[in-house]
Every structure is written in structure tokens, then in C-alpha cells.
Structure 1
Amino acid sequence: MAVRATDVSHGPGLLPPRTRERRRGLHTPRETPPAKPMVSWYDPEVLAKTGLKALLSATIGQQADRRLLDAVARPQPLAFDYSVDSDGEAREELWLDYVSDLGDGWNSTYAVASAVMAPTLDLADATGKVHPTEGGDVLVFGGDEVYPTASVEEYQARTVVPYAAALNRRRHRPHLFAVPGNHDWYDGLVSFTRLFCQGRRSDGWHTRQRRSYFALKLPHGWWLLGTDMQLESDLDAFQVEFFQKVAAQMDREDRIILCNAEPAWIKQQVKPRAGRGFLDHNIDFLEQKILGKRVSVFLAGDLHHYRRHENAEGRQKIVAGGGGAFLHPTHLPRVDTRPGGFVLKQCYPSQETSRRLTWRNLLFTAINPWFAAFMGGVYALLGWGVAANLNEGAVAAPPLREVLNAALQSTGSLLLAAGTLVGTIAFADDRRGRRWRQVAGGVHGAVHLVLALLLTWGVSSIAAPLAGGLQWSLGRDFLSGLLLFGGGALVGPLVVGLYLLLSLNVFSCHPNEAFSSLSIPDWKNFLRLHFDKDGQLTVFPVGLRRVPRRWQRGRSPEEPVWVPDPDDHRATPPALIEPPIVIGRSKAPPLTLDTGQSEPAFVTPDEQVLAGPV
């Protein structure tokens, strides 16, 4: 069944009712959803708040790791058992949905939620073949459940409300399990714990986990493990011990889907100079020494695109971070092949498309108007004092040498210039090393300073004629400030956009900054997993090429609260990114370890009743 109902025919030669009303002038304004826009990452207010939250969360994470407290204060079943149904009978099959990096703009987050929450979804592949799928009994959020920073209000507006409206009682509420990402940790995991770890229910899901990490026992010997890597890619000792006990409950032939918030297999290659800290060894210990070859599928988000690697044994490493956040580039350096024989099989969007999208940074000023205003202020402060000094002299245009001398004699301008250089060097990407950062940042800052000087020269030359030749310097100063602000608002963001374009497409740097500036809501994705009666896992990678931009209220109980406006013809339906991925047993034998003490008991979904309002 399609996600939205098809329009009913209005008879030959007849127009739809809304069109007839428009032509008669009777059309009333349509109702709109409580939409949140995409986060504008270069908005100075967002930059300041996010930076402050990141600083505070790093301090909180180091001084009071919430996972250690929860491990003592909040006991959790060793595993939640979905291998049996409510009657205790073994399940023959199970559907599960995986969504990561959501809770950003309404259009992107709600479009994905509408597809996830549909009772059934018919997905066409590139050949036109249609694959029927069902909405998952279990829903896993793979990390970063809200943007830009975690708070109860942001979770409610950007995550809870879209998923509740998308479900709209069309089917049963799925059981939700959430993996925290770095943005969930920006308030010390307080809001995440309140929403996902206290047995609360919303109109979109049931939550069951008690800690920020969990284990699910699935049909036919499959398991899904969700980790909490905190802010430093670290698994704490209690968490490692927890997964040791889970591994002790597994049979030799069981297989695992391991969900981490970040794709370490990519990040270690993209930033090879960063090295690996001692904390990374906890992740290696979990993957290599505790779980071993049982791991057939590695899932991660954090990078907001789809990318799949596969090795000769059929193991999969999949990044699926397209739940709603801005798009990340796929033309990243050094990630086409992986250590251990993992080779790139598919990415979405294509690398050619990703490279082409980077050129949108030339529209930086129009896309980021508040940052343009900020840069206008920077340029005005850099040149206003110099222009004011020049305005005290003759009305005629000053030579460039005189402008340069005035700038060198202005203490305020020199301090601001130094601050600009420090800022651009701090902003520069360090993946090519410290020297590269200093050179790239220095050149970037120097371009701004040279342009500010030339702009000041030009303003000083035209301020008097535009002011009607007035000798009154205060009037010319005011006009000079406006011209500097306007010129800086146009030129400054263009320089930043050009810097990001060259950095990514030529030097393979700034992938995050070059695409967060664009806030692209399209090319979204999620994974639908099917465990069939034969014990085979089929992964359906679902993509939404272009999400709707306009919505209207649904008109039947089979629809979500909001459905795409039929007049939004550019929106595309969900479709398969690539053919379904069929995964059987791992070819290599699993690693067996003596993990010592074990805990009883799996808890079936009906043995633990969790309730409470959101």
C-alpha cells in the first residue's frame, strides 16, 4: 500500500474541488503543520549556543559520566526478547526499522517518519520491481535524535510530534530503542534519559530501555546490540561487562547487528593523523574480543548519508544517517576501501552528485542570511575606524597607500584583524595536520583582510560623492559604516563559501562545514530489516530523493495527520536506494570466550509493563 492515498477521479473534464474553488475565488488558506525549519548552523545564535553546550557537555561527561550512575541505579534486563511472541511461541519473522540522525527540520524528519510509520510500504528498485514491506514492530533510533542540542522542548517539537503525527493510529505503536549520539549528550544525557529510558509512552511509540545501551534478542538467533559511545568514542567498563554477559547467552551460530552512534571504520580513515586514543581500544575489545565474527552487520549514523561496505564473507558495514538532518557529502577521501577487505558497494547520493552539490556554497550569502549580517558587522568594524580617519581629510578619493597606512595606525583595526586570523585558523580543518591548518586558515583570514581593506578604500572613495559632497564628517562616517556593512554582508560569506567549496572538492577537507552550510533536506534514508522464517535477514535501504515542502491535513484514518500536498509535484515517493541486501550466516566461525558470570533471563515485551505520559 502506498504511503498516501491516491486522488479520487473527479469525472471527465472536471477539475478537483480545490482547483474549482481557487478559480471562483473561494479557496481558503490551507492549514499548515507545526513545522520547524532546518537548523541554520551558521546562524551566530546557533553557533554560540551549540558551542557553549558542547563545552559544557564535555565538562559534564568528564566529571560525571551518567552511564556509570545509571548502571548502579537503573537495573535493566540483560536482553529484551523479541524471538517469541506474547504467547511465548517462537516468532517466525520480525520487521524492524532503523532510523538515525533525525529531529532536524520538519519536512525531512516528517517525510521519513511518514514512511517508517506506514502499515505497509511498497518500494520500487531501479529496475521497477516492487518489493512489499511492513512497518516494524521494533523501531531503533541510531543516534542524534534531535538537533541542534538536546532539550525537552527540542525533542518534543522536532522528534516526538512528527512521529506521533506520522503514526496517527494507522497501526500499533512500535517498541522504540534509542542509541545516544553526541548531540544527545549535549545536556549530559538528561533529556535523552527522561524521554527514552523511563518507560514513557507517546502517541508514536513505546519505550522500554532503562539505560542508554541495550540488547535485543531477535528471531532465529539474531541479536541487535546498541552501544553508548558518549562524547569520546568510549565504552565504559560497566557497559563492556554488560555486553560480555550478553555474549555469554549467545549460541555459537548466533549473529549480531551492532549499532554504534559513529562509523569508526570511516572516521579512522578520514582523519588518519588524529591517531587512536586509548579509549578507542574499548570499542576494539568489544568488536574483536567479545563479539568477534558473530557480528554480521555494523550499523551507524553520524554521517548524514547512505554508504555500504561489504567484505568477501558477506559482512556489512552500513552508514544510514539520513533520518532528517542536513545532508553530508559522500565524496569523502580514503573511504572507498577499508582495512579487512571491506569495499564500497553503494552510496547515496552518488559521489558525482555530492561534488556538484558542494557548488551551492557560492550561494552562501543567500542560504545563510544571518551569517551574512554577522560578516557585514565584522567588515564594518574592520574598516569603519579607518574610513572615519580618512573622512576627516579631503573629500577626494584617497590613494590605496594612504588607506593602508591608516589601517596600520588604527589599534582597533589591528586587534580585529588579529582576531580574524585567529578565528579562521581555529575554524580550519586539521585532518591534514597542524601545518595545513595554519596555512589554510591563514590564507582564508588574509583574503578577508585584503578584501576588507579594498572595500574600505572603495567606500572612502565614494562616501563623499554619495553624501552630496558634504564636508560634515559625521554624516560621511555613518554612510561609510552602512556601505561597509552592506559590502561585507555580500563579500564575506562569498569568501567563506568559496573557501569551503575549494576545501572539500580540491583538498578533501571540511566535509561537515561545507554541507552544514547548505542545510539540504533531501536524499534522506532509513533501513527496513526483515527477519524471515528461514532465519535470513533482508535489509531494505529506503531513500527519499526529494522530500515534500508543502503539506495538508489527511482526510481519512488510513492517512497520517499530514500528507504531501498534491500540488508539490517535485516531491518523490520512498524507493529503494539499491536492491535488497540478503544476509545469511557469517562464513567464519564466531569467537568464543569465557565471559564468566552470567545473568538469567530475557524479558519478553509483555512481561514488563511500562507506562507514563511523555
Structure 2
Amino acid sequence: MVRWLHPGMLIRTGLDALVAAVFGARADHRLIEAVVRPQPPYFDYSEESPNEDFWLDYVADTGDGWNSTYAVARLMALPSLEVKDPENQPHTLERGRILVLGGDQVYPGASRDTYEERLILPYEEAMARTKAPSPDLFAIPGNHDWYDGLAAFMRLFCANRWVAGRRTRQSRSYFALKLPHGWWLIGTDVQLDSDIDVPQVEYFRQVATHMKQGDRIILCNAEPAWILAAASKRRRGYLENNLEYLQEKVFGRRICLFLAGDLHHYRRHEGPDGRHKITAGGGGAFLAPTHAPAAPRLRDGYVQKTCFPDEKTSRKLARQNLLLIRHSPLFGLMTGALYLLLALATYTEIGTFGMSQFTEAVGAVASSVVTRPWSLTLGLATLGGLIGFADKALGRWRLLIGGLHGLAHILAAFFLAWGSVYFTVSVMGFCPEVIQSNASLVPGVALCSAGWHHVWAKFLLGALFTFVGGFLVGPFIMGLYLTVSVNGFQAHSNEAFISLAIPDWKNFLRLRIDKDGQLTVFPVGLERVPRKWKETHAGPFAPAYDPDDPKATEPRLIEAPVHVVPKKRGSVP
């Protein structure tokens, strides 16, 4: 799994996000593709198997760790899948004629090598070739796919090529599929700002002219804007842009099922009119919490029916942040370096002060801060940086909680530095007697009667102990902050779970349109993905590896099959 709190990864993803935010809107690849990449108004599957069930698969947020990505890819590659629902009723699910990738195909950012390593290889091992008819593959980009300006995405999915035993057909980053019995699937590209460009609106306006009265739509967006809207305090519509116009004016009440990824879990909301909004971002990326942001009821009357994992389990998993160093050990390098810098900035002779001399020790450090303005600047920068890091979801508590978080790190650095020099001087016996002199080479460090080698030994040992203390204590304080934030204030939901990189609780959707035109959604869940695999030696038409982990769980339906009630003919505006 991607180790998001690794110092190098933080720098890389931060730069990717910054570049995408600065240049994304000013170099919109969709405007170019609308001109140079012709695409038919829709891809027609409406006449396939008219007297049989039509199946399609939907998965989002793939391409993170091998175990999680391959586990899902393997299940989707099987010709049929036997699963049981919560009532222990068996269901046989056939492999989809179409596979739709719902966004964020790779992490942490898009590139040719990243797609190859984290998406193509596990999917090829799951289904390098397949017996005819081969499934078709369509993909919509998420924000991580946009980090390279969509270049790698277009090269892979929009060039009419074969990808892991599936044929790609689209030439743009958005598309329309005409399915049997009056169903349509619309895949949008919302880029980085949850918006779509004008040429895309015009494309879908043209698609709408081919729809008959009473046709119904499955709308696939990369982000579940309905959940973000429920958690926000804005009064107006959650998509005050072209996407809202597309949903409300172009397609209107034809939309019966909304699908989205981005949040790496499963959540289903059902509306009073039988429509559904499903978040299914469980294709391989790290698990996201289901209890934050909370969305028990959406603004348009939808009510949450199911989530996977359940909210109690989600809160329990969030508490693993208290052992953050176990999940992200190298994050301690950052806190250790920060604590060492704070200690060096205010270094003074307090090695002989015990706890009974707390006031004197504080006074000595305060005097050092006053005489060295840059140390005060570093302290204020630490405090301000962590206030700025505080999630906006904290609301009016943001300043206070962010400030307490910053103060906790500063105090921890003070006590660790004090303990380090006290241990070096009063316990190990380095330079217990000093000579005050202006000739000291290190500001704030007096000369030692035992010689310069004792001065440097004391200094280096104190620095080492401070760094090691910061390496251990800093992640605990950060983990405590994240735990309190996500479980107490429903804030920092992303940061609290990228730190854990949990590969389990994966999901994908298998959709069936039966011969009567009834759409049914089968949400397949995998609670614990295998960590060990064995070769199958089963030939080119089967997955290359099968699970070899007794702790892994079998796939099951997260809930009973979801029947999407068809709209009556003539019920659209």
C-alpha cells in the first residue's frame, strides 16, 4: 500500500497536488480532446442478448497495494461468482459484459509507470486473456488521474487498445453507453473542481436527444458530491456548476441510480422515489471511514441504508492512530527533526535542573527565546502551521484544537530536550561543571572544565536523545489528534485513514438488467483481503494466483440485492 506519511511521499503528493491545482484549470485537456478526438454520441449495447440478462461491473479507486487491487480484480475476472447475502441466500453473479472504472485508477499520482505497476500488472495477472466475447472497458478519471494533466489516462484508456484482456473503446474521458431495455450509463469527467466543461455538456445534450421517453440513466461521477454536500453548511445546491445543470436540466428525472467512488468504502442512500445514490470506492485503495463525514440524510430526502464497514467498526479502526508509528514508522523522522530544531533553537544550560527546578528551567529557556528572535519565529511557525493544518470541518473549534495540537508538540519538544540534556549531564556525567565564557563555539553552551570533547559529546548525545524522543512521541501526539478529530468531530477523515493504509473492506458492484428491464445492484464485499497467494497453473483464461491465506475472508454481498425501481414511461420532464 502507498505509505502516505512517508516524508518523501508527502513531498511528492504535495507537489503533484499543487501543480495540478495551479495548472489544471489553465490547461484543461478536455477542451483539446473535444476538438481532436471524435467520439460517437454513444456506444450501443442495447441489442446484445435481448432475451437474456445483461451484466456489467463497476469498480472505483483501484491501483494502490497489490493484495487489495489483485483481490478485487481476481473476483471480477471469474466467469461467475457464487456469493451469499446477509440472509445466507446464495446468488450466482456472471462476469460483466462491460467493466466501468469509476475514477482514481492509481495512487498516489498518474504516470505511465504507476499505471503499469499498480493497475495493469495485477489486472493482467487476474485476466490476461479471456474467451470471446471479451469484456469492454470504460474509465472515467478521478483527481489522481488528473495529476499529470490526464496524459497517462488518455494514452491507456482512450487509444482503442487491449488492457488486461479487455478492449477499450472510448476516445475521450467521458462517454455514454446505451444498454438494453431503455437503460443508459453516463460517465462524466469532473476534472479537479467537481465541474464539467461546456463541450462535455454539449456532448451529453446530444446524447439526450437519442433517448426515448421513459429511458432511465445510471450516472457515474468520480466524486460523491451528495455526501460532501450533506456534511457542508452551504445552503444552496451542492453542485452550482455545469454538472448540476447536466443532472437537473439535461437528464432530469431520468437518472435512477447515481454511482461514485473517491471515498474508499461502500455507502448507499435511498430516495423517497426509489432512486439510489451509491458510493463504492473499494477497488483497492486504502479504507476510508464510514462515520466521517456523517451523512445519515441527504438534502434531497435520501436516507442512508447501508455502509461497509459499519460505523462502529469504522470508529474502532480509527483508534489505531494511537499507534501511528506502527503503521507509518518513517513519519517519526519528520517529528524527530522538528523537535530537534525546536530544541536547538532554544538551547541553553539546563542539564543540572531537575523537576523541582521547573520554574528555573522554563525561565532559562524563555530567556533564550527572547535573545534569539529566530527561535520565536520557529515556534510561531510550528504553531501557525498546525493551526493551518486543522480541518475546516472542525468549524469554530478549528483555531482552538489546531492551537492545542501545535502547543502539544512544542511542549513535548521542550520536555524531551530538557530530559535529554539532564540525562546527559546529571546521569551520564558529561560536563557537570561549566565555565561561563563568551568563547563558546555553540550559542548557549558554556565551556566545560573537562574539555571541548565533553562539550561536543554532551551536545551530540543530547541532540540524539531529543531526536529519538521526537521520533517516538511526535507520532503519538499526531495520532491522538487524528483520533480525536475523526471520532469526536468527524474531521480529518482522509488524514486519519491514509495514515493507516488499511487494505481490507474492499468492494465492487455487479449490475444486472434482466429480460424485463429490471435493474438490480449486487454489492460484493471482501472484509479481509489475502496477504499470501499461490500459483494456479490453470492456463491463460484464469487468474494466475489464488488466495493462500487462512485468515482471508470469502466474498459476500454487503446487503441484499438492491432493486432500482424503474420509472414509468412518460415520467421524465
Compute the TM-score of the two structures, normalised by the length of structure 1: 0.85
Q: Which amino acid aligns with 2:66?
A: W
Equivalent of residue 161 in structure 1, options 87, 110, 121: 121
Question: Which position in structure 1 is the counterpart of 2:255?
Answer: 295
How far 1:294 moved relative to its partner?
A: 0.7
Distance 2:120 2:86 in 1: 33
Question: Which position in structure 1 is the counterpart of 2:442?
Answer: none
Distance 2:232 2:303 in 1: 18
Is the 8 Å Cα contact of residues 66 and 188 (structure 1) preserved in structure 2?
yes
Equivalent of residue 70 in structure 1, options 25, 28, 33: 33
Post-superposition CA distance 1:529-554 (Å, at most 9, x none):
11111111111000000000111211
1:481 and 2:463 matched: yes
Is the 8 Å Cα contact of residues 165 and 204 (structure 1) preserved in structure 2?
no
Is the 8 Å Cα contact of residues 294 and 589 (structure 1) preserved in structure 2?
no
Is the 8 Å Cα contact of residues 175 and 208 (structure 1) preserved in structure 2?
yes
Q: Which amino acid aligns with 1:430?
A: K
How far 1:205 moved relative to its partner?
A: 1.7
Seen in structure 2, the aligned counterparts of structure 1 residues 430 and 395 have a Cα distance that, compared at 3 Å, is closer
Seen in structure 2, the aligned counterparts of structure 1 residues 466 and 174 have a Cα distance that, compared at 3 Å, is farther
Question: Which position in structure 2 is the counterpart of 1:572?
Answer: 553
The SS at the match of 1:266 is helix
1:406 and 2:334 matched: no
Distance 2:269 2:85 in 1: 19
Seen in structure 2, the aligned counterparts of structure 1 residues 117 and 408 have a Cα distance that, compared at 3 Å, is farther
Could you say what the CA RMSD is over the residues aligned between the two structures, in angstroms?
2.0
Q: Which runs of 5+ in 1 are unaligned?
A: 1-37, 593-614
The SS at the match of 2:393 is coil
Distance 1:544 1:570 in 2: 12
How far 1:586 moved relative to its partner?
A: 2.0
Question: Which position in structure 2 is the counterpart of 1:338?
Answer: 298
The SS at the match of 1:268 is helix
Q: What are the within-5 Å matches in structure 2 for residues 120-519 of structure 1? A: 120-169=80-129, 171-172=131-132, 173-273=134-234, 280-387=240-347, 389-390=348-349, 399-401=360-362, 402-433=364-395, 435-465=396-426, 467-470=428-431, 471=448, 472-519=454-501
Question: Which position in structure 2 is the counterpart of 1:82?
Answer: 45
Question: Which position in structure 2 is the counterpart of 1:607?
Answer: none
Distance 2:55 2:24 in 1: 35
Seen in structure 2, the aligned counterparts of structure 1 residues 185 and 447 have a Cα distance that, compared at 3 Å, is same
- Number of residue pairs matched? 546
How far 1:429 moved relative to its partner?
A: 0.4
How far 1:454 moved relative to its partner?
A: 1.4
Distance 2:235 2:479 in 1: 26
Q: Which amino acid aligns with 1:270?
A: A
Equivalent of residue 59 in structure 2, options 99, 104, 109: 99
The SS at the match of 1:62 is coil
Is the 8 Å Cα contact of residues 100 and 139 (structure 2) preserved in structure 1?
yes
Question: Which position in structure 1 is the counterpart of 2:435?
Answer: none
Q: Which amino acid aligns with 1:45?
A: G
Is the 8 Å Cα contact of residues 141 and 178 (structure 1) preserved in structure 2?
yes
Seen in structure 2, the aligned counterparts of structure 1 residues 394 and 514 have a Cα distance that, compared at 3 Å, is closer
Equivalent of residue 523 in structure 2, options 541, 545, 569: 541
1:59 and 2:42 matched: no
The SS at the match of 2:489 is coil
Question: Which position in structure 2 is the counterpart of 1:16?
Answer: none
Seen in structure 2, the aligned counterparts of structure 1 residues 75 and 492 have a Cα distance that, compared at 3 Å, is same
Post-superposition CA distance 1:204-255 (Å, at most 9, x none):
3211100000000001110000000011111111111111111111111111
Distance 2:77 2:385 in 1: 44
Is the 8 Å Cα contact of residues 213 and 569 (structure 2) preserved in structure 1?
no
Distance 2:38 2:429 in 1: 78
Q: Which runs of 5+ in 2 are unaligned?
A: 432-447, 449-453
Question: Which position in structure 1 is the counterpart of 2:564?
Answer: 583
Post-superposition CA distance 1:449-489 (Å, at most 9, x none):
11111112211211124544344211111001110111001
The SS at the match of 1:63 is coil
Is the 8 Å Cα contact of residues 29 and 149 (structure 2) preserved in structure 1?
yes
How far 1:569 moved relative to its partner?
A: 1.0
How far 1:55 moved relative to its partner?
A: 1.3
Is the 8 Å Cα contact of residues 425 and 445 (structure 1) preserved in structure 2?
yes
How far 1:83 moved relative to its partner?
A: 1.1
Seen in structure 2, the aligned counterparts of structure 1 residues 171 and 541 have a Cα distance that, compared at 3 Å, is farther
Post-superposition CA distance 1:321-375 (Å, at most 9, x none):
0000111111124410112221111000001111111110001111111111111
The SS at the match of 1:280 is coil
Equivalent of residue 530 in structure 1, options 512, 526, 535: 512
Is the 8 Å Cα contact of residues 296 and 303 (structure 2) preserved in structure 1?
yes
Q: What are the within-5 Å matches in structure 2 for residues 11-90 of structure 1? A: 38-85=1-48, 90=50
Question: Which position in structure 2 is the counterpart of 1:560?
Answer: 543
**Residue range with higher mean Cα deviation, 124-133 or 216-225:** 124-133
Compute the TM-score of the two structures, normalised by the length of structure 2: 0.91
The SS at the match of 2:349 is helix
Is the 8 Å Cα contact of residues 297 and 317 (structure 1) preserved in structure 2?
yes
The SS at the match of 1:579 is coil
Q: Which amino acid aligns with 2:107?
A: Y
**Residue range with higher mean Cα deviation, 264-273 or 191-200:** 264-273
Question: Which position in structure 2 is the counterpart of 1:32?
Answer: none
Q: Which amino acid aligns with 1:59?
A: V
Distance 1:175 1:514 in 2: 36
How far 1:404 moved relative to its partner?
A: 3.7
Is the 8 Å Cα contact of residues 158 and 168 (structure 2) preserved in structure 1?
yes
Is the 8 Å Cα contact of residues 381 and 413 (structure 1) preserved in structure 2?
no
Q: Which amino acid aligns with 1:547?
A: V
The runs of 4+ residues in structure 1 deviating greater than 6 Å are: 274-277, 393-398
Q: Which amino acid aligns with 1:425?
A: I
Q: Which amino acid aligns with 2:558?
A: I
Distance 2:163 2:413 in 1: 53
Is the 8 Å Cα contact of residues 233 and 280 (structure 1) preserved in structure 2?
no
The SS at the match of 1:233 is coil
Q: Which amino acid aligns with 1:351?
A: E
Distance 1:341 1:116 in 2: 33
How far 1:417 moved relative to its partner?
A: 1.4
Seen in structure 2, the aligned counterparts of structure 1 residues 274 and 110 have a Cα distance that, compared at 3 Å, is farther
Distance 1:93 1:171 in 2: 19
Post-superposition CA distance 1:74-129 (Å, at most 9, x none):
010100001123xxx74643110000011001111110000011111001112221
Distance 2:552 2:197 in 1: 44
How far 1:386 moved relative to its partner?
A: 3.2
Is the 8 Å Cα contact of residues 293 and 493 (structure 2) preserved in structure 1?
no
How far 1:571 moved relative to its partner?
A: 0.3
How far 1:276 moved relative to its partner?
A: 6.2
Equivalent of residue 533 in structure 2, options 537, 546, 551: 551
Q: Which amino acid aligns with 1:67?
A: R
The SS at the match of 1:180 is coil
Is the 8 Å Cα contact of residues 543 and 577 (structure 1) preserved in structure 2?
yes
Question: Which position in structure 1 is the counterpart of 2:434?
Answer: none
